Amino acid sequence: MRDIDELLALKDYEAGAPPLDDETRRRARARLFAAMTAADGPAPVRRRPVLRIALTGAVAASVAAAVLVAVQEDDGAKGTNAKPPAVSSPPMRNVSVQTVLNGAAAYERKHERVASPRDDQFIYTKEIIKETNQRTGSTKSYTDETWRSVDGSQRSWVMEIGHGWWSPPLAKNESVWPPQDWGTLKKLPADPEKLILSLLSKTGPDDRNDSLDDITEEEWSEIHFSLTGLLKLVPVMPQGLRPAAYEALGMVPGVRTVPNQKDAKGRTGVAITYDDPMLPEGSTGFGGYFVFDPETYRFLGFRDERTSDDSKGLNRYTQLSYLDSWAVVDKVRQQP
């Protein structure tokens, strides 16, 4: 099974940071497995989507520490019993997580494009990636074009940093997280609190009736993992879902702002990142940086890191990316 092969490969994926202890690795692997496995009933086959999660170092970051530039602690999330970890660095800008993410949600609701694709169509996305080798300073740019089957029944064409391949359709009883097919995405609630509760077991809306007050620290870590996967790996969503996901992200304890972050076009914005309580202090898991315009809170793009090993040794890259365009088309690899 493809996921098992990918998980086994993690032991050879090094992020250039001090190794984690066995218990932390166990928790990180458990989170990755939980992202692909249903919590209730017979376990369906769940396949992680073959998108940029592998090559951006997102999986590796879940099992290997990466030092962050910590600058500001937000004032917490509403209705939770999990406490954000303390940060010793002084604040550099007085802007809260809720201000940024609620502003991003409001901007998205005002400007989002509505799509109503048919099941037999494809969603085309064009992503621009700018990658800098931290050791040599050399920079390369990539244009990734992907055609994703709307209902998952047809093979899709997927690209990661300039490399493309055919992704097979989902098999019977097979699913992925985050969901890629439009029908499943439409079932996710466009209300932030309901969305959070639905993510606890990833079986759909209203699968638990708990209050946010009942969510444990470990469950918040799982919820963050699911929300960032949704926001990073699903570039086109049904109306209202992305704004709800932004607002839900702002409710997660440990999410904080980082000012003065550059995007792929050289613009300076305010970023959102996460201090994962399931990982050692000073390290981060999946999520990287979401960069927003500091005035309008329009989403500008992602900042991630990835590592690779070659004959010259370990290379670490800073990766800046943004969605350039998208469209609904009738055939795979058809230009809009």
Work out the average pLDDT over 140-146. 97
pLDDT at res. 277: 87
Residue 202's pLDDT is what?
54
- Which is more confident, 316 or 29? 316
The pTM of the full predicted model, rounded to 2 decimals, is: 0.73
Structure confidence at residue 312 (pLDDT): 73
Closest CA to 275 of 193, 216, 198, 220: 220
Q: What is the pLDDT of residue 110?
A: 97
Q: What distance in Å separates the CA atoms of residue 156 and residue 148, rounded to the nearest whole number?
A: 5
Confidence of residue 313 (pLDDT cuts 50, 70, 90): confident
CA 229 to CA 249: how far, in whole Å? 11
* Predicted pLDDT of residue 6: 41
20-41 pLDDT per residue, tens: 444 444 444 444 444 443 334 4
Report the phi/psi class of residue 161: left, alpha or beta, with left for phi > 0 and alpha for psi in -120 to 50.
Answer: left
Give 177-236 pLDDT, tens digit per residue.
899 899 999 999 999 999 999 998 654 444 455 688 889 999 999 999 999 999 999 999
DSSP state of 214: G
In this predicted structure, the answer to whether residue 123 has a pLDDT above a threshold of 80 is yes
What band does 74 get if pLDDT is binned at 50, 70 and 90? very low
Q: With 60 as the cut, is the pLDDT of residue 293 above it?
A: yes
Q: Mean pLDDT for the chain?
A: 77
pLDDT of residue 325: 97
Q: Is the pLDDT of residue 163 over 90?
A: yes
Q: 158-182 burial by CB neighbour count: b if 16+ within 10 A, else e?
A: bbbbeeeeebeebeeeebbbbbbbb
Please name the residues in contact with 79: beta carbons below 8 A apart, sequence gap of 6 or more.
211, 212, 213, 251
Measured at the alpha carbon of residue 224, what is the angle toward residues 57 and 3, in degrees to the nearest 5? 50
Once rounded to an integer, what is the mean pLDDT over residues 277-283?
Answer: 77
In this prediction, residue 41 carries a pLDDT of: 41
pLDDT at residue 235, rounded to an integer: 93
Residue 184: φ, ψ to 5°: -70, -40
Question: Would you kindly state where each structural domain of the chain is located, as residue ranges?
Answer: 2-329
